[in-house]
Chains A and B, each alone.
Chain A
Amino acid sequence: MAQPLPFVLDVPETPGDQGQEPSPYDESEVHDSFQQLIQEQSWRAAQEGLELQQRARQAAGEGEGQGGLCLAQSCPAASVGRSRGAIISQYYNRTVQLRRRSSRPLLGNLVRSARPSLRMYDLELDPRAQEEEEKQSLLVRELQSLAVAQRDHMLRGMPLSLAEKRSLREKSRTPRGKWRGQRGHGSIFSCCGWLRYACVLTLHSLGLALLSSLQALTPWRYALKRIGGQFGSSVLSYFLFLKTLLAFNALLLLLLLAFMVGPQAAFPPALPGPVPVCTGLELLTGAGCFTHTVMYYGHYSNATLNQPCAGPLEGGRCSPGAGSLPYNMPLAYLFTVGVGFFITCITLVYSMAHSFGESYRVGSTSGIHAITVFCSWDYKVTQKRASRLQQDNIRTRLKELLAEWQLRQSPRSVCRRLRQAAALGLTWLLCLGTALGCAVAVHVFSEFMIQSLEAAGKEAALLVLPLVVGLLNLGAPYLCRILAALEPHDSPVLEVYVAICRNLILKLAILGTLCYHWLGRRVGVLRGQCWEDFVGQELYRFLVMDFILMLLDTLFGELVWRIISEKKLKRRRKPEFDIARNVLELIYGQTLTWLGVLFSPLLPAVQIIKLLLVFYIKKASLLANCQAPRRPWLASHMSTVFLTLLCFPAFLGTAVFLCYAVWHVKPSGICGPFRTLDTMYEAGRVWVRHLEAGGPRVSWLPWVHQYLVENTFFVFLVSALLLAVIYLNIQVVRGQRKVICLLKEQISNEGEDKIFLINKLHSIYERKEREERSRVRTGQAAIPPTLLTDERDA
């Protein structure tokens, strides 16, 4: 890597600039084009060979009092960072491009062997050096030709001070815009034009007011700001994820309330028996007096609501009473759950894609040192202690990066790599074994519960299975974390991902076992009873137990641990807030909610209450007991990872569970909206057959059902299209990476050219100086014509 040579040129200057370095805020003699400079100098060297003699004599008299230009600093690349003129001309070019919609020149047209200068396309269209006033007037003219909104957008994005932006805006305002100032002078403009302008102004201010009110309405804004200020963006990402989950649940609940719970609550069916007395226990078990309410599947009727006469099954056909709408409950149940899941799926996939688009950058894995130094300071942190902690974290991270880099420089021995691979394999095996062991334990215990419940029949005994599963969920990750301390990891970021993976596998194994237990075993055992109610109540119990255990874990894991570590162990560090584990708990709770929506439509409401309580409890515990994690945390990557985990294992799994329950399982015969059907899906088929009999005008719907929904060809077509789009995107990204490599090569070649040319010029002038000095010393001799031949030699 060559160092830039400070090279003093003999450029005629105004006397005021003698001995002055060009500083960022005054615009003296900054040449904009390096090529133009070289041309200028070579022309001067060729033409003014004779004058060097005189200049040398003058120089001897004046001494070293010639102001110089540092060549390296006068390059256009350096000037944009500090000069206002360069900023203005850069934005002038951008505005021109915006207006003419011109794009980059095609790379295929550039000839690589000639090493063209890419700077021609970047900064200056006109190579002549312009004064700042000229540039400003050019920019103003361009701005005037833009629309008002675009102009404001352009002005807002310029890195100039507010006063300068205001002057640009004033100058670029079209004459119509000056109405505001001239209104008081009794203008003669037409009435309609003034009215239109007033309307535009009102709309503009309304839009601004709406935007600011929307911002003010976001809940918990100051709580989140306080958390971010004290703990940084990493812990904040947990609370933002919680807010996202609340939004999902609220959307689902709205749909369910409007189309299912509301109509059923308005037309309650006859209750099968006496209502059990409400004790306090049903808040935990969900059974008891909650059983025959809109909360569970069994309460929903299987007939059409609000139809005063006999239903279609009995063959009678009658007209509905005046002003009443018949409401087909089974169909509504099926469709609402289906549409709710579909909307959740679309929203999830969209947020995931959006987050992925923001967090993934081509080439983001290289340049980790520069990125850490430039981008890792979190400006949201406002407390001195948190700031010091952040400094500690950054220092540790930098030292780790340097150690990793050193390690990569020295090649590792094969023996050591084998040992590392063996340790890694062993820990993975142990963790997978733990997950399997937990799944088997849950299976055995659930079988035992089936046997014993038939004998016992106590309500409180129903809580044992959720308790056991919750304890396993709590304890096994701690075990995996202890095991992970044994294995070597070069990269701390990878450790976090691996821990999340293992925890997730554990939870999935347990949930899979439970799903088999409910849909496989319970359906058989509870034949003749309302098994859907039971499954709904089980899921309610699991949710409540999960919440109670989370409460206990916060209490003991954070509060008690902090007290112990401060009083007994006398450590100054508070316990860390484990973000990954807490987020996975949220995902687990959300999975339970989605599993239970079909059997207990009010479960999203329970989840919303639970999430609100979790927010306040976690916030209180965090502020009192914890500190930010020491491990490095790529906040935006992590958000994408969490959303992906929510979408793929969690949502996909529940979608599979739902499809199986709707398509294959026989609903119970004594309760619920599908009690007379073979599968829940048959309600839809019955309706389609009803429509077919309805006449030719609605025949497109059965056609759609037959050829698009029942036929698998359509699904294959859609999947094939999706795969093609994904493949195209992958190729585009690959192409972009190649282009980036090529462009980097060109830039580095240009840098080398620059150094080479500077060296050449330097040697030419040095030689000439030496010759002049020697000529002066040896006295007056004939003017050597060798100057020109020297150039040819060089």
Chain B
Amino acid sequence: MGGSGSRLSKDLLAEYQDLTFLTKQEILLSMYVVSAPHLVDEQQARSGNEHTGTPIAERANRSPLSARAHKRFCELLPQEQQSVEASLRAQVSFEQILSLPELKANPFKERICRVFSTSPTRDSLSFEDFLDLLSVFSDTATPDIKSHYAFRIFDFDDDGTLNREDLSQLVNCLTGESEDTRLSASEMKQLVDNILEESDIDRDGTINLSEFQHVISRSPDFASSFKIVL
């Protein structure tokens, strides 16, 4: 791989661009985001006010990215991991990813991290997993792939279908976890019954991927709302 240790090689960048839905700017930006989480905390502590905090992307994009992005990433890692190959294989823990402003306020953030993680213990994300995440949530990803991952995110028990417990947990995430924001038990049961009535076509009590994708295809808003912009 060519270039100094501070830059992603052109081949690797081109390969990422071919295999994901992201552009070059977004890939370099995501490296910056992954590599400098301590800068995020400092900035937020300094500003102190949640409303005026701008996302990292806005601050980062004001400076020339490609010169500094990967360099910062390497600076954070210990000495033996500072080569390009090792930094790409480094694993970032869930806490760092969950502290990103784009994910912090999302009730599905743990499920998202778990679905995209490919590590054996499934508790950390590598840089490529993070790129996968951004690619699926990007503007140009097909609705097909988005609905596939949405199904996996909503499948809380990872069994390949959405059963009643999955649906109840999903509704609880949507309405808020505290006691006074949940739906009552009868309302929940009625809602889950209605959902299964509308979307379970083969009447087996669960929603599988094809049925889920069929429901999603009827909603034109899904593709535009299932988007995270870095």
Contact = CB atoms under 8 A, between A and B. Distances in A.
Given A371-B218, A395-B176, A748-B202, A1 B102 contact: no
A347 interface: no
8 contacts: A159-B148, A370-B198, A373-B195, A376-B174, A379-B228, A382-B55, A384-B50, A395-B183
Interface in B87-110: 101-102, 104-108
Contact of B225 (A156, A161, A377): A377
Interface string A364-390: 101111110111111111111111100
B190 interface: yes
How many interface residues does chain B have, given as a range?
35 or more
Given A384-B50, A748-B202, A374 B216 contact: yes
A82 B58 CA distance: 37
B224 A78 contact: no
Contacts of A169: 18-19
Contact of B154 (A216, A374, A751, A752): A374
Contacts of A81: 151-152, 155, 160-161, 208-209
Contacts of A402: 187, 190-191, 194
B199 interface: yes
B105 A382 contact: yes
7 closest residue pairs by CB, A with B:
A751-B202, A82-B160, A387-B105, A81-B160, A81-B209, A212-B23, A367-B198
A272 interface: no
A205 interface: yes
B43 to A, nearest CB: 15
B50 to A, nearest CB: 7
A402 B187 CA distance: 8
B181 A391 contact: yes
Contacts of A229: 55
A78 B167 CA distance: 16
Contacts of A205: 14
By CB atoms of chain B within 10 A, which of A81, A165, A208, A209 has the most?
Answer: A81
Is the contact region of chain B dominated by helix, strand, or loop, or is it mixed?
A: helix
Interface string A152-166: 100111110111011
A155 B18 CA distance: 9
Contacts of A636: 220-221, 224
Interface stretch (A100-108, A307-315, A355-363, A450-458): A355-363
A381 B202 contact: no
A483 interface: no
A348 interface: no
A394 B174 contact: yes
Given A361-B217, A402-B187, A747 B224 contact: no
B14 A208 contact: yes
Is the contact region of chain A dominated by helix, strand, or loop, or is it mixed?
A: helix
B30 interface: no
A67 to B, nearest CB: 17
Interface in A171-222: 180, 204-205, 208-209, 211-212, 215-216, 222
How many interface residues does chain A have, given as a range?
35 or more
A359 B221 CA distance: 8
A166 B208 contact: no
Contacts of A152: 18-19
Interface string A396-409: 00110010010000
Contacts of B229: 225, 228, 380
Contacts of A583: none
B170 interface: yes
B215 interface: yes
A294 interface: no
Nearest to B225: A378
A634 B221 CA distance: 7
Contact of A225 (B55, B128, B129, B190): B55
B230 to A, nearest CB: 9
A78 B160 contact: yes
Contact of A222 (B14, B19, B57, B118): B57
Given A376-B225, A380-B228, A384-B50, A391 B175 contact: yes
Contacts of A226: 54-55, 58
Interface string A130-169: 0000000000000000000000100111110111011001
A367 B219 CA distance: 10
Given A159-B136, A222-B58, A361-B218, 11 more contacts: A1-B196, A77-B202, A81-B155, A156-B19, A169-B18, A208-B23, A233-B224, A360-B220, A367-B215, A369-B191, A398-B191
A401 to B, nearest CB: 8
Contacts of A380: 225, 227-229
A576 interface: no
